[in-house]
Amino acid sequence: MAIAEAAIFSRFTRSAMIEVLDHPMVETAKASGFSQVKLLIAHVLPNAALPLLTITGLFVGSLIGGGVVTENVFSWPGTGRLLVESVGARDFAVVQCTILLIGVTMIVTNLAVDLCYLGIDPRLRDAKRRAA
């Protein structure tokens, strides 16, 4: 399931890195004498990581949906198969609990992505301090 997601993620990473490499701050860092490795790690990667975090949160939802399909196609026991069998058996309590579990997983994932934004983007940390 993750191979298709990895292809999308790698292309998105490449385009984000190329976009940040064209930014004027990278030219300034090059002129300051940073090595290529230090430039990529200290300046390019943190700025390219913001859009990558966004799609990572979205990929969790598609992996959950893909898990439901995979578990049913290969008859693997799991939450997805439980959900489909419960719908077929009209066991609404199990369906509601499973959907709630999937929803909570998505909410926690999005919360984790938002907290990672605070760790990566200094503009968000500064805005949080000014608001307090």
Burial of 44 by CB count in 10 Å (0-12 exposed, 13-18 middle, 19+ buried)?
A: buried
Task: Give the closest residue to 13 by CA, choosing from 62, 54, 66, 43.
Answer: 54
Tens of pLDDT along 95-129?
Answer: 999 999 999 999 999 999 989 988 888 777 777 67
pLDDT of residue 129: 73
75: left (phi over 0), alpha (psi -120 to 50) or beta: left
At 129 the three-state DSSP class reads: helix
**Res. 86 pLDDT band, cuts 50 70 90:** very high
Q: What is the mean pLDDT of residues 9-31?
A: 91
State pTM to two decimals. Answer: 0.76
**Res. 132 pLDDT band, cuts 50 70 90:** low
